[in-house]
Structure 1
Amino acid sequence: MHSDQAARRVRPPQPHAALSSGTFGNEERSVRNPTLTEALVDKVLDIRYDAIPAAAVELSKKIALDGLAVMHAGATEPLGVGRLTTAYVRASGGAPQASVVAGGFKTSMQNAAYANGTMAHALDFDNTSYPPNHPTSPTLPAILAIAEHHRLSGRKIIEAIVAAYEVQGRLRWAATGLRTGTGFHKPSTVGMFGAVTAAARMLDLDRQRTLMAFGIAGSRAGSLSINTGTMTKSSHSGHGARMGVEAALLAQMGWTASPDVFGPKGFFDTFMPGDSKPERLIEGFASPLWMLDPGVGFKAYPSNGFTQRPISGAIELHDAYGLSAEKIDRVQVIFPRFEYVNRPQPRSGLDGKFSIQYTTLVALLDGEVGVDSFTDERRFAPDVVELLPKVELQFDDAIPFDKLTMHVVVHVWLKDGRQLTKRIDRLPGWPGQAGVELTAEQRHGKFYSCTRRVLDHEAARRMLELVERLETLPDVVEIMDIARCDAKE
Structure 2
Amino acid sequence: MTTPPGTPDHSTPAVRRIGDWVAGLRRADIPKPVAEVALSCIVDTLGVALAGAGSEAGVLAADVARDTYAPGPAPLLAGGRLGMEGAAFANAAAAHALDFDDNSYAGFVHGSAVVVPAALAATGMAGGTGSDLLTSVVAGAEAQYALAEAVGNGVYHAGWWTTALFGTVGAAAVAAKALGLDGRSAADAVAFALCGTGGLRACFGTGAKPLLAAQAAANGVRAARLAARGLTVPHGVVEDPRGFARLVAENRFDPAALDSLGGRWRLLDPGIDTKLYPVCLSAHAAMDAVRDLMAERRLTAGDIAAVHCRVPPVVAANLTYDRPATAGEARFSLHFAVACVMLHGTLTLEHLSRTTLADPVLAALIGRIAMEADPAWNADADRARLAPEGAEVTVETVAGERITRFCPSARGTVARPLSAAEHAAKFKGCAAHAIGPAGAENLHLRLQGLELETDLPSLLHLCTMPAIHDPDEKPS
Q: Same fold (TM over 0.5)?
A: yes
Distance 1:402 1:32, change over 3 A: closer
How far apart, in 1, do the equivalents of 2:210 and 2:218 lie?
Answer: 13
- The equivalent residue for 2:149 is 173
- The equivalent residue for 2:295 is 319
How far apart, in 1, do the equivalents of 2:405 and 2:213 lie?
Answer: 34
Alpha-carbon offset, residue 27 of structure 1: 7.4
2:96 equivalent among 110, 116, 121: 121
Alpha-carbon offset, residue 85 of structure 1: 2.1
Alpha-carbon offset, residue 306 of structure 1: 1.4
How far apart, in 1, do the equivalents of 2:10 and 2:364 lie?
Answer: 67
Alpha-carbon offset, residue 322 of structure 1: 5.0
- The equivalent residue for 2:400 is 417
How far apart, in 2, do the equivalents of 1:93 and 1:165 lie?
Answer: 25
- The equivalent residue for 1:364 is 342
Aligned residue identity for 1:236: L
- The equivalent residue for 2:455 is 475
CA displacement, residues 122-159 of structure 1 (integer Å, 9 cap, x when unaligned): 11111111232111011110100112223211111111
How far apart, in 2, do the equivalents of 1:32 and 1:370 lie?
Answer: 47
- CA-based RMSD of the aligned residues comes to 2.4
- The equivalent residue for 1:207 is 183
Which stretch of structure 1 is more off in the superposition, 459-468 or 252-261?
A: 252-261
How far apart, in 2, do the equivalents of 1:123 and 1:404 lie?
Answer: 26
Alpha-carbon offset, residue 260 of structure 1: 2.5
Please say if residues 435 and 465 of structure 2, whose CA atoms lie closer than 8 Å, have aligned partners that are also in contact. yes
Alpha-carbon offset, residue 162 of structure 1: 1.3
CA displacement, residues 406-464 of structure 1 (integer Å, 9 cap, x when unaligned): 54222222323333433213332123xxx211100000010011011111222212211
How far apart, in 2, do the equivalents of 1:345 and 1:403 lie?
Answer: 30
- The equivalent residue for 2:246 is 269
Alpha-carbon offset, residue 204 of structure 1: 0.4
How far apart, in 2, do the equivalents of 1:86 and 1:291 lie?
Answer: 29
Please say if residues 138 and 191 of structure 1, whose CA atoms lie closer than 8 Å, have aligned partners that are also in contact. yes
Alpha-carbon offset, residue 33 of structure 1: 5.1
Correspondence 1:137-286 to 2 at 5 A:
137-176=113-152, 178-180=154-156, 182-264=158-240, 265-274=242-251, 276-286=252-262
CA displacement, residues 223-256 of structure 1 (integer Å, 9 cap, x when unaligned): 1110000000111211111111111111111123
1:456 equivalent among 436, 457, 460: 436
- The equivalent residue for 1:96 is 72
Distance 1:86 1:324, change over 3 A: farther
TM-score by length of 1: 0.87
Sequence identity of aligned pairs in percent?
Answer: 24
Alpha-carbon offset, residue 266 of structure 1: 2.0
Please say if residues 273 and 413 of structure 2, whose CA atoms lie closer than 8 Å, have aligned partners that are also in contact. yes
How far apart, in 2, do the equivalents of 1:452 and 1:182 lie?
Answer: 38
Q: Which runs of 4+ in 1 moved over 4 A?
A: 26-29, 321-325
Aligned residue identity for 2:386: L
Correspondence 1:53-64 to 2 at 5 A:
53-64=31-42
CA displacement, residues 181-220 of structure 1 (integer Å, 9 cap, x when unaligned): 5522112211110111111000001122212212221232
- The equivalent residue for 2:45 is 67
Alpha-carbon offset, residue 316 of structure 1: 2.1
Alpha-carbon offset, residue 28 of structure 1: 13
Aligned residue identity for 1:410: V
How far apart, in 2, do the equivalents of 1:350 and 1:314 lie?
Answer: 23
Distance 1:378 1:180, change over 3 A: farther
CA displacement, residues 58-116 of structure 1 (integer Å, 9 cap, x when unaligned): 11111110010010111233xx2222222222333521221111x22111211110111
How far apart, in 2, do the equivalents of 1:379 and 1:179 lie?
Answer: 33
Alpha-carbon offset, residue 355 of structure 1: 1.8
Distance 1:452 1:32, change over 3 A: closer
- The equivalent residue for 1:309 is 285
How far apart, in 2, do the equivalents of 1:60 and 1:32 lie?
Answer: 28
- The equivalent residue for 2:267 is 291
Where structure 2 has 5 or more consecutive residues not aligned to the other structure, the ranges are 469-476
More helix by share: 2
- The equivalent residue for 1:17 is none
CA displacement, residues 40-59 of structure 1 (integer Å, 9 cap, x when unaligned): 32222221111211111111
How far apart, in 2, do the equivalents of 1:234 and 1:68 lie?
Answer: 15
How far apart, in 2, do the equivalents of 1:404 and 1:302 lie?
Answer: 22
Alpha-carbon offset, residue 177 of structure 1: 6.1
Q: Tell me the secondary structure at the aligned position of residue 427 of structure 1.
A: coil
Q: Tell me the secondary structure at the aligned position of residue 456 of structure 1.
A: helix
Distance 1:188 1:447, change over 3 A: same
Which stretch of structure 1 is more off in the superposition, 375-384 or 241-250?
A: 375-384
Q: Tell me the secondary structure at the aligned position of residue 422 of structure 1.
A: strand
How far apart, in 2, do the equivalents of 1:28 and 1:283 lie?
Answer: 10
How far apart, in 2, do the equivalents of 1:481 and 1:38 lie?
Answer: 36
Distance 1:53 1:32, change over 3 A: closer
Distance 1:229 1:342, change over 3 A: closer
- The equivalent residue for 1:21 is none
Please say if residues 161 and 200 of structure 2, whose CA atoms lie closer than 8 Å, have aligned partners that are also in contact. yes
Which stretch of structure 1 is more off in the superposition, 85-94 or 60-69?
A: 85-94
1:81 aligns with 2:63: no
Please say if residues 74 and 87 of structure 2, whose CA atoms lie closer than 8 Å, have aligned partners that are also in contact. yes
1:405 equivalent among 384, 387, 401: 387
